[in-house]
Structure 1
Amino acid sequence: MKKTAKTLGLLIAAVSLFAAGCSESSTSSAETFPAVKTWKVASVQTGLTANGKVVAAEEVQVVSKVSGKVATVPVQEGSVVKQGDTLVTLEASDFQEQINQAQAAIAGAEARLRDTKAGARTQQLQQLASTVEQAQATLKVAENNYTRMKALFDSGALSQAELERVTLDTEKARTGLEQAQAAYDLAKAGPTADSVAALEAEVARLRSSLDMAKNGYDNTIIHAPISGIVAKKNVNPGEMAGAGAPLLVLVKMDQVKVEASVPQAMINNVKVGSTVDVKVAGMAEKVWSGEVEFVSPVSDANSSSFPIKVRLDNQDGLLRAGMVAEVYLQGEAQKGTKVPASAVVEKENKNYIYTVDQGVVHQVEVSVSESGADWAVVASGVKENDQIVIHPTDELSDGSMVSAN
């Protein structure tokens, strides 16, 4: 019995020691970190703003004036081109044949014009004069024959039909002489002004046809109308290009525009030529200076807002078409981040903010550009989405563990 009691006592003592150990462990695991109140940094807008999108300063759809089969496309999407660079070439054999035909037709017309202006040659005049003499001799024979036949008719020895036949021969001979004489006189006098003018007009018409053929040939080579970047390519070698169909799209991005809509109540605050600040989503730390170049006198068809356009320099290429932007219509855009004034702590003439990342405190030195009773503008040191301690205490230090809420 005593042995049993002794054993029971040892067991109770062991259980007590175990319970004490568990109690200490529970107390250690339940250790809590000081709770701090935090605030999430977000971008802040100041003044009157208008939302819009970035577009290229210039956008050109490159088209062909003529239809044809694509021979070469020496550029790709993203290629940087200068004004006048070759973008597309079309097969040009048909246009070259038209040029050859027009040149041959001009050569023939010019030869005829030269001959006409030169007039008849001496040999031609001599030949025509000989023809006149032959016609005169023929007429003389016909007239003598008519005289004899008329005498026979008058004596009753010749019928009326025979006399009429001789009379007709005489008239034919007279007409032949008149024609030969007219041809000789015309050749001797040279071409008329109207004849020369008609041939000159024909030469001019054929030269116009040649110019059209050359223009068609030149149009088979499509050049860049502006310097810029190939944003889109719609054709490849071997495909057919239709006249007027877009082949490529060129954009000029060294300058861009922001197209925004301004509510009716604010539109009178916007003037052409005025300078405004612009901020772009995702780049809140950077502010662009732009110039208003257009204020529409007519509102949007589906709203009471008015379109405006703001031109910006984009030499660094940070701005891309389609980016969302904010235009500050009055005052300057906030050049910094707005935070509660109570989050800024001054130590030894320096300003600090405590950020919290996964329960760990980080002491960050900041530059304060503006400060008020409730808010401060921090020019550097924190960024959007940072968690900062609103009311830091003296117990906080870099590396402290806290429970944020």
Structure 2
Amino acid sequence: MKNKHWKTIGAVLTAVSLITAGCSESASGTNEETLPVVKTWKVASTQAGVIASGKIAASEEIQVVSKVSGKAATVNVNEGSVVKQGDVLVTLEASDYQQQIAQAQAAIAGAQAKLRDTKAGARNEQLQQLASTVEQAKASLKVAESTYNRMKALFDSGALSQAELEKTSLDLEKARTGLEQAQAQYNLAKAGPTSDTVAALQAEVSRLNSSLELAKSSYDNTIVRAPISGIVAKRNIDPGEMAAAGSPLLVLVKMDEVKVEASVPQEQINNVKVGSTVDVKVDSLGGKVLQGTVEFVSPISDANSSSFPIKVKMPNKDGLLRAGMVAEVMLQGQAEQGTKVPTAALQQKDNKQYIYKVDNDVVHQVEVTVSNTSGDWATVTAGVNENDQVVLNPTDKLAEGTKVIAN
């Protein structure tokens, strides 16, 4: 009887326990369902006023090449050497080019001598010699005529064949032609050269002079000089190595002035004008803010984005700025440190501004310092850190310690 009684009590207690547990689970599920759902935004640390991030580049970067091929005889600079415009950087072996100069000079000398002789005309000795040749030709013609007349008489009498007469006739014709040629040479020498003859010889002298200038230019090109004043950033040649025409031997950079190459979003590109002054922040200089001048604003966007390239020139007399350093470009007067957050994350109470951070689904109310508000963004100088999750459009239901479901 006792055992039966205790069994009944145990069953009742078990049932009550199950009912209680079920009620507890139901209540817990109801609490989770009623937690407010908030939309959050992750803070990213930025520089207030930044319109573009880019890199510093040399104001000028020149690849020094040789116009001619040849073996490097000397290389007078190393990487890091400071050079002035016109300094000799590299010399190539030049013996072949020197021989070309000598050959061209010799050819010019011969052509000029021939031109002088032609202009001077024939000398008296030459004229006398040619006149003597004419007299000899006349005498030969007389002999040929006399012989022919005698042979013709024999032919007419039947004592000479037709073939022998024709041979004598041919000799007579040769004598006449010889006299004509001798007379023509004498007349030409006596009259002097024609203008066309002189012009042709002068043209030949000019052509050879051009060849000489080309040979000298090739020789001069074996001496490679600095096209600008700057610093040797790279050296690709050593003495004894072959230098190919057009191949870079050295790279020179001009660093007393540098430029920042950056890309500006399309929403802000119209705020940037050529000639305007901007602030430039360089993190590697401890966040120092410098001033630069916009020298180029591209009329077309980058091929793979909607951003527009710009170039900002900056003085670099002390040499602290180096090519490749990251720089941030800001409109003049906006170089203040801060973090951008959406204005929708701010809530004002009692003349103070707050944001609500979410940490492990718990809200924490934090007072912030706002230095500037523009459109949908505000610049916060204190109160938020990078990677903070802040609530957007907070309501009065939120308070310190409120549990939420972050979305």
Return the TM-score normalized by structure 1.
Answer: 0.71
* Alpha-carbon distance between aligned partners in 2 of 1:177 and 1:119, rounded to the nearest angstrom: 22
Task: Give the match for residue 279 of structure 1.
Answer: 281
Indicate which of 170, 173, 180 corresponds to 1:171: 173
* Alpha-carbon distance between aligned partners in 2 of 1:110 and 1:282, rounded to the nearest angstrom: 69
Which segments of 5 or more consecutive residues in structure 1 lack a partner in the other structure?
A: 1-41, 339-372, 378-405
Task: Give the match for residue 11 of structure 2.
Answer: none
* Alpha-carbon distance between aligned partners in 1 of 2:145 and 2:135, rounded to the nearest angstrom: 15
Task: Give the match for residue 374 of structure 1.
Answer: 369
* Alpha-carbon distance between aligned partners in 1 of 2:83 and 2:292, rounded to the nearest angstrom: 26
Task: Give the match for residue 306 of structure 1.
Answer: 308
Task: Give the match for residue 30 of structure 1.
Answer: none
Task: Give the match for residue 325 of structure 1.
Answer: 327
Q: CA deviation at 1:329?
A: 2.7
Q: CA deviation at 1:45?
A: 2.2
> What CA deviation, in whole Å up to 9, does each residue of 1:325-370 have, x standing for no partner?
0000353312x789xxxxxxxxxxxxxxxxxxxxxxxxxxxxxxxx
Q: CA deviation at 1:146?
A: 1.5
Q: How do residues 218-297 of structure 1 correspond to structure 2 at under 5 angstroms? A: 218-297=220-299
1:282 partner SS: helix
* Alpha-carbon distance between aligned partners in 1 of 2:130 and 2:146, rounded to the nearest angstrom: 25
Q: CA deviation at 1:141?
A: 1.5
> What CA deviation, in whole Å up to 9, does each residue of 1:305-340 have, x standing for no partner?
110000001111111000000000353312x789xx
Q: CA deviation at 1:147?
A: 1.7
Task: Give the match for residue 205 of structure 2.
Answer: 203
2:284 partner SS: coil
Q: How do residues 131-150 of structure 1 correspond to structure 2 at under 5 angstroms? A: 131-150=133-152
Which segments of 5 or more consecutive residues in structure 2 lack a partner in the other structure?
A: 1-43, 340-367, 373-407
Indicate which of 109, 114, 125 corresponds to 1:107: 109
Q: CA deviation at 1:67?
A: 0.5
Of residues 277-286 and 249-258 in structure 1, the stretch that sits farther from structure 2 once superposed is: 277-286
Of residues 285-294 and 272-281 in structure 1, the stretch that sits farther from structure 2 once superposed is: 285-294
The code of the aligned residue for 1:374 comes to T
Task: Give the match for residue 341 of structure 1.
Answer: none
* Alpha-carbon distance between aligned partners in 2 of 1:303 and 1:129, rounded to the nearest angstrom: 92
* Alpha-carbon distance between aligned partners in 1 of 2:214 and 2:167, rounded to the nearest angstrom: 61
Indicate which of 73, 76, 82 corresponds to 1:74: 76
> What CA deviation, in whole Å up to 9, does each residue of 1:192-249 have, x standing for no partner?
1121112111111111111111111100110000000000111111111110000000
* Alpha-carbon distance between aligned partners in 2 of 1:176 and 1:86, rounded to the nearest angstrom: 67
Q: CA deviation at 1:43?
A: 8.4
The 8 Å contact of residues 279 and 327 in structure 1, kept in 2 or not, is answered as yes
Alignment: residue pair count: 303
Task: Give the match for residue 163 of structure 2.
Answer: 161
The code of the aligned residue for 1:289 comes to Q
Q: Cα 1:376–1:160, aligned 2, differ >3 Å: closer, same or farther?
A: closer
1:331 partner SS: coil
The code of the aligned residue for 1:312 comes to M
Q: CA deviation at 1:283?
A: 2.5
* Alpha-carbon distance between aligned partners in 2 of 1:114 and 1:267, rounded to the nearest angstrom: 72
The code of the aligned residue for 1:226 comes to I
Q: Cα 1:43–1:81, aligned 2, differ >3 Å: closer, same or farther?
A: farther
The 8 Å contact of residues 83 and 230 in structure 2, kept in 1 or not, is answered as yes
* Alpha-carbon distance between aligned partners in 1 of 2:177 and 2:314, rounded to the nearest angstrom: 90
* Alpha-carbon distance between aligned partners in 1 of 2:298 and 2:370, rounded to the nearest angstrom: 37
Q: How do residues 380-391 of structure 1 correspond to structure 2 at under 5 angstroms? A: none
2:322 partner SS: coil
Task: Give the match for residue 123 of structure 1.
Answer: 125
Return the TM-score normalized by structure 2.
Answer: 0.71
